[in-house]
Amino acid sequence: MSDKTNRVLFLSLLTFCGLAGTHATGKENAPDVQESRLWLQYQAEGNPRLKESAEDLRSIYVPSSSSPILKNAVSELSEAGTRMLGHAITSDGAAQNGTVVLGTLAELKRYLPKESINRVASLNDEGYLIKSLTAAGKRITVITSRTDRGVLYGVFHFIRLMQTGESLRSLDLAEQPAVHLRMLNHWDNPDGSVERGYAGRSLWKWGELPEKTDPRYREYARFCASIGINGVVLNNVNADPVMMRSDYIEKTAALADIFRQWGIRTYLTPNFASPMVLSKNLNTADPMNRDVQAWWADKTDEIYQRIPDFGGFLIKADSEGQPGPKSYDRSHVEGANMLAEALEPHGGIVLWRAFVYGKSEDRAKDAYNEFRKFDGCFNDNVFLQIKNGPLDFQPREPFTPLFGAMPKTSIALELQITKEYLGHSTSSAYLAPMWEELLQTDTYAKGKGSTIARIVDGSLDRHALSCIAGVANIGDDANWCGSIFNQANWYAFGRLAWNPDLSAAAIADEWIRMTFCSDVETCTTIRKMMMGSYEACVDYTMPIGLNFLCNTGSHFKPDPAKRKAYHGADASGLGINRSKNGSDYSGQYAPELQAVFNDMDRIPLKYLLWFHHVPWDHTLSSGRTLLDELEYRYDRGVSYVDTMIMEWIGLKDNVDAEIHASVLEQLKKEQAWARTWNTTCMDYFSGVADTEK
């Protein structure tokens, strides 16, 4: 039978098969404010393409065997279309122009052209095809994938096209995620607090689970799915052993049952000492002890009996007081592999964090010194999860030299979406430029072109699995993230985890149009504000490679006087000598980078004080002395915030009044915060420099 005949039959089926109906979304119980809808606003205002789109989305057809994920896809597309296009998305199944057909390749294969079948078959499990077809004179759009998860992601892509004003005509695009595991790491505690969280308390109401599930759990999963996030670690890496108790496994299962319907797998962080805390018969957590191994195997079996698609464990061990294998003279490899063996029969993974303190004279060297020697020793289902920088999510650090140094080990990149060192929710900093800068950085591990993006997506070292994790900035605030501009970082993380080669500017454009549905002038102004906001935050806090100038508790206020170990200010100059003539931290990088980092005149100014102790009167590549450059950077950062305020005030008539007022209030707080940093740091550094005179 010809492809054309199949497509005609396919259209005829639409006449006789009822469409999968929409179902309750649960949104009636969620906060009904514009900010709570994040980037899924589904507003028609200011979108000139929607009139054309109205002719391309009239009805939806899915096979009768629809899974819960496909039902959610249908519901989402129906809601988006109805709200944006101004007419109900019909469910009579009539073949007509504007029918969107959803289904897996197995369900639609009989009716697709061979070329389309081959394209879908060549994609990974979460890739999808969106294809405009014409048959029997009817114009339809097919969204298909090898899996229902891929169809869901395709639907959200289709909706994004509507939201951003793109044409729905003549679509022919195939896309797949570059990274397999795209995860949020929640630092949420069983008592409802959130470590380094600035948007209220935890979403997870452990006291109510499993009997009662908050409607926001579904909304959360829906938002995650819309940007391709497929994994969630529910609890803090400073883990409470209670999370491995049977009653908490039941609570976790209630969340997993919701997340599964949106293609999301659930993970937990167990405390490494859980066996000796929870078992009456064990007084050790030694990973080489057979009884301990049996306890973990039994506990893992218990979890999978209740959560068949459980993802695995994220582990923080032997770091900041957390227990680990070193307490028993065992290595990180022995600890990780013990857990990996318990998970392996179920298809689970271990994400072992590389954030450790060691005995190096320079803390920045610790992770490399601790883990480099173990390359190739971890089991296949173990990821070494590495922070972007070697210290601790500072506003700007050079990349961790472990990237590129462990080609035989699966590497997971850990980013921080929550702004621990970037002003908490006071800051409006858009973090995608920071992450883009990191991902496109060349490690030279295998010659030019060995970018961190290629290491993380597994392509450089040909790893079968890849992972990017982000420390979540989400809480129970009505706006989810503490402010509307912090929502952009959740969105940007998901989009970059899906495709690390996307640009920060392109992601900003998407988010602005989806969140504000604004006109060109408004979009241009907001994009300009966003694209310089991260660099401004670096300028008015820790410019030119400075780090850890903040206080020790909240990591919010400037306290350079107590942080000399991290900035090295004295009468002779400023900065830490990590060059070959200092701690030789630079020696952990490829030779091409060592040559740059060791040379005070060649190194980019953004890393200067990270690698060198520079005299106060040294003339930099900018033509300014070090002290003058510091003053220039601090003033520039404050000035940028001043400008953002003026630009935002100018949008008063273009943005929802409540949102405009809340953002303006936030920007004024940031302005005061930036000025405090400027004054405190410049007074301190100027005072130290004056002692030379």
State how far the Cα of 559 lies from the Cα of 553, in Å rounded to an integer: 11
* Mean pLDDT of the 185-204 span: 98
Model pLDDT for residues 369-390, shown as the tens digit of each residue? 999 999 999 999 999 999 999 9
Model pLDDT for residues 165-189, shown as the tens digit of each residue? 999 989 999 999 999 999 999 999 9
* Mean pLDDT of the 642-653 span: 97
* Mean pLDDT of the 328-352 span: 98
> How many structural domains comprise the chain?
3
Share the mean pLDDT of the chain: 93
Is residue 456 included in any domain, yes or no?
Answer: yes
State how far the Cα of 324 lies from the Cα of 290, in Å rounded to an integer: 16
Residues 33 and 159 in one domain: yes
Q: Is residue 364 over pLDDT 70?
A: yes
Q: pLDDT at position 86, please?
A: 86
Residue 332: enclosing H or E segment and its boundaries?
helix 332-343
Residues 206 and 88 in one domain: no
Closest CA to 439 of 430, 457, 452, 449: 452
Q: Is residue 93 over pLDDT 80?
A: no
* Mean pLDDT of the 316-338 span: 97
Q: pLDDT at position 9, please?
A: 45
CB 473 within 8 A of CB 199: yes
Classify residue 307 as left (phi > 0), alpha (psi -120 to 50) or beta: beta
- Is residue 204 exposed (0-12), middle (13-18) or buried (19+ Cβ within 10 Å)? buried
Q: What single-letter DSSP state applies at residue 600?
A: T
Residues 510 and 617 in one domain: no
The 3 state secondary structure assigned to 542-572 is CCCCCCCCECCCCCCCECHHHCHHHHCCECC
Residues 185 and 272 in one domain: yes
Model pLDDT for residues 56-80, shown as the tens digit of each residue? 899 999 987 789 999 999 999 999 9
Q: pLDDT at position 303, please?
A: 98
* Mean pLDDT of the 121-128 span: 98
Query: Which CATH number goes with the domain that contains 112?
Result: 3.30.379.10
- Residue type at 54 in one-letter notation: A
Residues 441 and 497 in one domain: yes
**Higher-confidence residue: 66 or 573?**
573
Residue 593: enclosing H or E segment and its boundaries?
helix 591-597
Q: pLDDT at position 11, please?
A: 47
State how far the Cα of 204 lies from the Cα of 192, in Å rounded to an integer: 7
Residue 691's pLDDT band, with cuts at 50, 70 and 90, is confident
- Is residue 35 exposed (0-12), middle (13-18) or buried (19+ Cβ within 10 Å)? buried
CA distances from 362 to 367, 375, 565 (A): 11, 22, 10
Classify residue 564 as left (phi > 0), alpha (psi -120 to 50) or beta: alpha
Residue 542's pLDDT band, with cuts at 50, 70 and 90, is very high
Q: pLDDT at position 110, please?
A: 84
State how far the Cα of 270 lies from the Cα of 329, in Å rounded to an integer: 20
Is residue 350 included in any domain, yes or no?
Answer: no
Provide the token pair at 463. 């790893």
State how far the Cα of 77 lies from the Cα of 152, in Å rounded to an integer: 10
Q: How many CB atoms lie within 10 A of CB 92?
A: 10
Residues in contact with 191: Cβ distance below 8 Å, sequence separation at least 6, in sequence order: none
CB 685 within 8 A of CB 560: yes
Is residue 583 included in any domain, yes or no?
Answer: no
- Residue type at 120 in one-letter notation: V
* Mean pLDDT of the 297-311 span: 98
Residues 550 and 629 in one domain: yes
* Mean pLDDT of the 643-661 span: 95
Q: Quick check: pTM over 0.75?
A: yes
* Mean pLDDT of the 654-658 span: 92
CB 674 within 8 A of CB 644: no
Residues 155 and 203 in one domain: no
Q: pLDDT at position 44, please?
A: 82
* Mean pLDDT of the 179-208 span: 98
Q: Which of 125, 156, 175 is the endpoint of a domain?
A: 175
What is the Cα gyration radius of the chain?
26
Residues 216 and 241 in one domain: yes
State how far the Cα of 498 lies from the Cα of 513, in Å rounded to an integer: 20
State how far the Cα of 402 lies from the Cα of 466, in Å rounded to an integer: 16
Closest CA to 182 of 509, 392, 494: 494
**Which residue has tokens 């005030």?**
649
CA neighbours within 13 Å on the CB side: how many for 477? 20
Closest CA to 89 of 103, 106, 77: 77
CA distances from 245 to 240, 277, 302 (A): 10, 10, 10
Query: Which CATH number goes with the domain that contains 569?
Result: 3.90.1330.10
Residues 248 and 289 in one domain: yes
Q: pLDDT at position 87, please?
A: 87
Is residue 360 included in any domain, yes or no?
Answer: no
Q: Is residue 10 over pLDDT 90?
A: no
Q: What single-letter DSSP state applies at residue 451?
A: B
Closest CA to 422 of 535, 532, 276, 567: 535
Q: Is residue 5 over pLDDT 70?
A: no
Whole-angstrom distance between the N-terminal and C-terminal Cα of the chain? 91
CB 51 within 8 A of CB 91: no
Give the distance from CA 503 to its chain's centroid: 15
Q: pLDDT at position 21, please?
A: 35
Classify residue 364 as left (phi > 0), alpha (psi -120 to 50) or beta: alpha
Q: pLDDT at position 641, please?
A: 98
- Is residue 423 exposed (0-12), middle (13-18) or buried (19+ Cβ within 10 Å)? buried
Phi, psi values for residue 224, rounded to 5°: -60, -45
Check the CA dihedral 528-228-206-472 and report its sign: negative
**Which residue has tokens 């590549």?**
621
Q: What single-letter DSSP state applies at residue 625?
A: B
CB 396 within 8 A of CB 449: no
Q: Is residue 18 over pLDDT 50?
A: no
Partners of 141 in the β-ladder? 100, 132
Provide the token pair at 68. 């819960």
Domain that includes residue 216, residue range: 181-302+316-335+384-514
Residue 137's pLDDT band, with cuts at 50, 70 and 90, is confident
Residue 359's pLDDT band, with cuts at 50, 70 and 90, is confident
Residues 145 and 207 in one domain: no
Give the distance from CA 83 to its chain's centroid: 28
Is residue 596 included in any domain, yes or no?
Answer: no
Provide the token pair at 238. 């400073």
* Mean pLDDT of the 134-152 span: 92
Residues 505 and 546 in one domain: no
Is residue 592 included in any domain, yes or no?
Answer: no
Is residue 356 included in any domain, yes or no?
Answer: no
Ranking 95-99, 156-160, 208-212, 483-487 by mean pLDDT, the lowest is: 95-99
Q: Is residue 462 over pLDDT 70?
A: yes
Q: Is residue 4 over pLDDT 70?
A: no
Q: Which of 117, 147, 175 is the endpoint of a domain?
A: 175
Query: Which CATH number goes with the domain that contains 471?
Result: 3.20.20.80
Model pLDDT for residues 26-50, shown as the tens digit of each residue? 344 445 578 899 999 998 877 777 8
Model pLDDT for residues 241-291, shown as the tens digit of each residue? 999 999 999 999 999 999 999 999 999 999 999 999 999 999 999 999 999
CB 663 within 8 A of CB 649: no
Q: Is residue 336 over pLDDT 50?
A: yes
Closest CA to 443 of 537, 363, 368: 368
Q: Is residue 295 over pLDDT 80?
A: yes
Is residue 608 included in any domain, yes or no?
Answer: no
Q: pLDDT at position 99, please?
A: 92
Residues 129 and 225 in one domain: no
Q: Is residue 14 over pLDDT 90?
A: no
Q: pLDDT at position 693, please?
A: 54
Model pLDDT for residues 622-646, shown as the tens digit of each residue? 999 999 999 999 999 999 999 999 9
Ranking 41-50, 262-271, 477-486, 540-549 by mean pLDDT, the lowest is: 41-50
Provide the token pair at 453. 């993006």
**Active site residues per annotation:** 320, 392, 420
